Structures are given as C-alpha cells and as structure tokens.
Amino acid sequence: MWSEERSRAVWARMVLRQIAPAFLYDPRYRVNVIDFGLPERQQSTDERPTLRFHVTEKMSEHRLESAGIERVPRQIGEFTTDVIEGVYYPQVWPWWPAVQPPAGSPQSRFEKLRGGISISDVRHISAGTLGGLVRDRATGEEMILSNWHVLVVEWWARPGLRICQPGRLDGGLPHDVVARLTRDAMRSGLDAAVATLTGHRALINDQLTLGPVDGVARPELGMQLVKAGRTTGVTHGIVTGIEGYARLWYGSVQRVIRHVMTIVPAVTRRDVSKAGDSGSWWLDEATNNAVGLHFAGSDSPEQGLAMDMTAVLDALGVDVVTERPLPAARRWIEAARMEVMRR
C-alpha cells in the first residue's frame, strides 16, 4: 500500500497541473514557482507537505493591497498553502574574460570526460556543467546530458552544433570539440538536451570526486542529495519541494519548466549552487542514484531548482549509463583477451 504522503503527492500533482498556468501567468499574483513541499510557516500546527507558491518577496496584507498584488488563497481544495521567497535564474556562467584554470579543477580540460566539469557550445563565451553519460535508447550511441541553455542556448540552434570541453569561458577552443548537439526537450517543458560524442575523447560513468552513478531514483521530500558542479564543486542539499512548475526567462522568451524539485543547502549558509553549475546531476547521497538535473537557482534565499531525472530521460529517449569504468589492470587483461579471440 502507498503511504499517506505518497497519496497526497499524487493528488497534489493533479492539482498543480490544473492551477499552475493560472497562477504563473496571472500578473496579479507575481508567482514564479509552484510546487508541493515542506511548509515554511512559522506558526503552524500542520507540518504535512502542502502547496507552495514562490514569490520574489513576501509582503504584508497592507503592502500587497498597496502594490495591487493578489494574495494567494490560504486553501486550495484539501491543501493549505504556503508562500516562500525565491528569485530564480538559469545558472550558466555568462560572458567574461577567459582564464586558464588549474589542472584537475572542474574548469580545466579532461582527457577522460566525466560529470561535474566545464562545458559549452562553441558559439558562446560561457560555461555550464557536463552532467554525465547517457545512451540513446534507439541507436545505442553514447551522449552527454546537460541543460538546453548550456548545449543549445539560442532558439534558432539546430542539431550538429559543436560542443567543447572545457567551456569557452574556461579557455575551450573550437579544436576542443567533444560532441555535437542531437536534440533537446524544451518543447516538453524541460530545460534539457543531449549531444552525441564525436569519439575524440571518451566520456566515462563518473562524477568528479563523487564516483560512478549507480542508477536513477525519483525525488522524495527530505531526500539528502549531493552534486558536482563546474563552479561550486561538491555541494550538499535537501529536497524540500517536488512536482513543481517554474516560470523562467530564457533570453527574451519566457518558458514554464515542469517536473521541478526545490533543493536547499544541507548546511546552513553554504552554497547549494552558483552560475556555471547548470547541467549538474543531483545524486541521492545514500545510493549515488541520479535524482535530478540542475538548471536554476536563487541566491536570496539560497535555493536550487532541478528537474526529475526520470522525466528528463523519458523526454529525451535516453538512459543513464551505469557501467563502472574498468581499472587499468583489468582493461589491459580485457584488451589482451579480445586480441586472443580475434586471432
């Protein structure tokens, strides 16, 4: 049997699907994210998960009325509501003069590609994070999975766009191309894309300093997560919201991203993410299963947004590669065995 919390989450998903467009696009409310999660109310006896409305600034009744802003209803169906603050932006690092990063840092060049390192398309002096290794369900080709705004960037971009590592911001040049854009999931309301490897450098199942990914899991409230990002390195977070919808600007175009989870720092006053961490994979700290694809964050208060990894994989038609890279000695033995078989 399902637990009461799981049943409430399923029902909340249905309610959110119905109400999200009205609240996100109605300027009277000024809501930028709606999700189902842990309440932040200070004087509440009901601590069960509820519908949460993220706004740029919480205001008193008097200030709301003076500014002409509609108050979020206290109750929607069987759910009470909560209002929390958050100003969210896609977290790719914008143009800045390129510097030579130290060897081994997430911004440096890697002969063997892995999750948590710098990447970008060749047209923009920017940098995001290479999320990790996936495999096309139809062709079996190995691909990079990261964000739309890291691998695609422009609405006119087409498949074949060259992807380089490190990203151009971190000194990457056109001869550092490691993949070509294949497809994205923005039409499905997901800031995600994949690029097929060119074969110039191998991408292994490994997250920088965190080790291989062992599988995929769905996010749950209170789940302890960890990620490796291009800018902040290894950070730890806690899932406080799931099943969300987020309204963000991508250049001059506004889009609603679905299947969003909200993540807060596991340690008070620590960063959960910064610009350049877009594309990181959030892993379940207990199992190293991939849970979410990071794409946006807020600095005040410190919060991150990621998309449910299962939804991302299904939309793009790929699977996470979970095979672990062979140790050097075993690789030599395996190569020798194959050579003997060929003879």
Token readout for 56 is 């740029």
How far apart CA 309 and CA 328 sit, in angstroms, is: 31
Q: Are residues 235 and 315 in the same domain?
A: yes
Write out pLDDT tens, residues 38-96. Answer: 988 644 455 788 999 999 887 777 777 776 777 888 889 888 899 998 889 998 876 66
Q: Which domain holds residue 44?
A: 4-85
- Residue 164 lies inside a defined structural domain of this protein: yes
Q: Are residues 192 and 261 in the same domain?
A: no
Q: Are residues 14 and 77 in the same domain?
A: yes
Q: Domain holding 236: CATH number?
A: 2.40.10.10
pTM, 2 dp: 0.89
Q: What is the CA radius of gyration of the chain?
A: 21
Cis preceding-peptide flag for 301 (omega within 30 of 0): yes
- Residue 336 lies inside a defined structural domain of this protein: no
Token readout for 28 is 């009277």
Length of the chain: 343
Q: Are residues 227 and 275 in the same domain?
A: yes
Closest listed residue to residue 107, CA positions, set 272, 264, 275: 275
How far apart CA 309 and CA 283 sit, in angstroms, is: 10
- Residue 341 lies inside a defined structural domain of this protein: no
Buried b (16+ CB within 10 A) or exposed e, 224-256: ebbbbbbbbeebbbbbbbbbbbbbbebeeeebb
| Confidence bin at 1 (pLDDT 50/70/90) | very low
Q: Are residues 232 and 314 in the same domain?
A: yes
Q: Are residues 192 and 229 in the same domain?
A: no
Helix (H, G, I), strand (E, B) or coil at 336: helix
| Position 284 pLDDT exceeds 90 | yes
Q: Are residues 122 and 139 in the same domain?
A: yes
Q: What angle do CA 72, 75, 76 make, to 5 degrees?
A: 90
How far apart CA 202 and CA 331 sit, in angstroms, is: 14
Give me the pLDDT at residue 42, please: 47
Give strand ranges (E) for 11-78. Answer: 31-37, 50-55, 75-76
Give me the pLDDT at residue 107, please: 94
